[in-house]
Amino acid sequence: MDQNNLLIIDFEFTMPEGKYSPQNFFPEIIEAGIVKSVDDAVVETFSSYIKPKKFPKLTKRCKSFLKITQKDVDEGMKFEEFIRKLNELDPQKDCTIVTWGNMDMKVLKQNCMFNHIPFPFKGEMRDLSLEYKNFFGDRTLTGLWKAAEEYGDEGTGTHHKALDDALTTHKLFKRVEQDKQYLEKPKPPTIGERIDLSEVLRRAT
């Protein structure tokens, strides 16, 4: 798959009011933010609310946590339209899909099954939160914006706004990839690092 063609994806989901069992609730995508990157350059961004179908009425907890209104999702695009957009963004089915965490693709697969729609991606799936954990040797997974802070960045826009989170993930992806390359291909030492120049100058005087 083409590592230079990336779709960086972030979804927000419906949330139950309290405890729930899989028999009476499952999360549905209600907001999507996507960054399409080719050769490290952003070529397209996409942001939209999406109407939930199985549980169309948002809980108070969901609206409060995500700062999202019932009107937002009621006026959002249908899930079928959203999948068509995903197919348009990855027409050759060769994009590498990058997410922060594994829930985005899990919920997308579940939502596709519920709607009897084929899963839209065939490319490599990369969970950047897991790569970040392994790269830095952390014991636990780090939240997206905490990781951005650790890189000296406050993140882009507002946390839990899907496109802002996708843009933040894209920035982190580029930085982690640069650090990996730096470690894999260390720069050759300069002559100053090979030789103690102060010693050479001392001898010359």
Structure tokens at 76: 């959002």
Say how far apart CA 31 and CA 19 lie, in whole Å: 22
Distance of CA 12 to the CA centre of its chain: 11
Question: For residue 3, what are the contacts with CB-CB under 8 A and spacing of at least 6?
Answer: 96, 124
Residues involved in catalysis: 12, 160
∠ CA 44-7-75, nearest 5°, is 65
Identify the DSSP state of 45.
E
∠ CA 25-142-48, nearest 5°, is 50
Please list, residue by residue across 166-186, b when 16 or more beta carbons sit within 10 angstroms of its beta carbon and e when fewer do: bbbbbbbbebbeeeeeeeeee
Say how far apart CA 43 and CA 88 lie, in whole Å: 13
Q: What is the largest CA-CA distance in the chain?
A: 85
